[in-house]
Amino acid sequence: MIVIGLIIGLIPFAVVGVASLNRLPTIEEVEPHDVVIVYGAGLWGDGPSAYLAARLRVALELFEAGKVRVILVSGDYLWEGHNEPGAMKQWLIERGVPEAKIVQDFAGSDTYATCLRAKQIFGVESAILVSQSYHLPRAVATCRLIGLDAVGVGDSTVKDWGRLRWYIYVAREIPAIVKMAIDLLIQRQPIMGEPESGVTDALGS
């Protein structure tokens, strides 16, 4: 029974590994896509945290390289003073990205919600995902398993700013992958709402 339990417990990790295999290219290697999705990672005051700024920097490089046409920023808007998508949008605008090319998802409370909302609310069928490299296998797998074709381009530069914190986040992927499996199995419904045309409008601008 122990062996069977171990095998069953390892299935989500195997699924993540298979679903993300060969789907984590560099900025130079990645094929162009219409949309890049940037996952929220907290704020420092009213600006992006170091981890979030590093993600935005990757998205900016992708945009400047002509690899993407629209940036979908997804995160929490918990209260007036905690607006992740708003801070992400402002960071990008200050660095030259046209406002019309940035779309905000204010209900991206976690990876699963961001993936599901990108597909069902914003109509995204294929995208580049941007996050820290330890998070991307789960993000890519989640998107693919809900029907959104995805590859991921990751940041690892923040590891040099604090390796202990980095490895704590790496370890957190273990329970996060288990949660991902549960969300997919029960088909959890996060905050959804009506479909939005933001991505389509941005592509046409």
pLDDT tens for the chain, residues 1 to 205: 554 444 455 788 899 999 999 999 999 999 999 999 999 998 888 889 999 999 999 999 999 999 999 999 999 887 777 899 999 999 999 999 999 999 999 999 999 999 999 999 999 999 999 999 999 999 999 999 999 999 999 999 999 888 999 999 999 999 999 999 999 999 999 999 999 999 999 999 8
Report how far residue 55's alpha carbon sits from residue 152's, in angstroms, rounded to the nearest whole number: 11
pLDDT of residue 8: 52
The HSE-up count of residue 21 (CA atoms within 13 Å, CB side) is 6
pLDDT on residue 82? 81
As a whole number of angstroms, the distance between CA 116 and CA 107 comes to: 11
* pLDDT computed for residue 7 by the predictor: 46
Q: What is the pLDDT of residue 6?
A: 42
Nearest partner of 124 among 69, 186, 188, judged by Cα: 69
Domain 30-188: top CATH class: alpha beta
Q: What integer pLDDT is reported at residue 3 of this predicted model? A: 42
Quote the pLDDT of residue 165. 93
- The per-residue pLDDT for 65 is 97
**Contact of 139 with 148, CB cutoff 8 Å:** no
User: Cα–Cα distance between 188 and 135 in angstroms, integer?
Assistant: 20
What pLDDT is stored for residue 12 in this prediction? 87
Q: Which residues pair with 132 in a beta bridge?
A: 155
Amino acid at 1: M
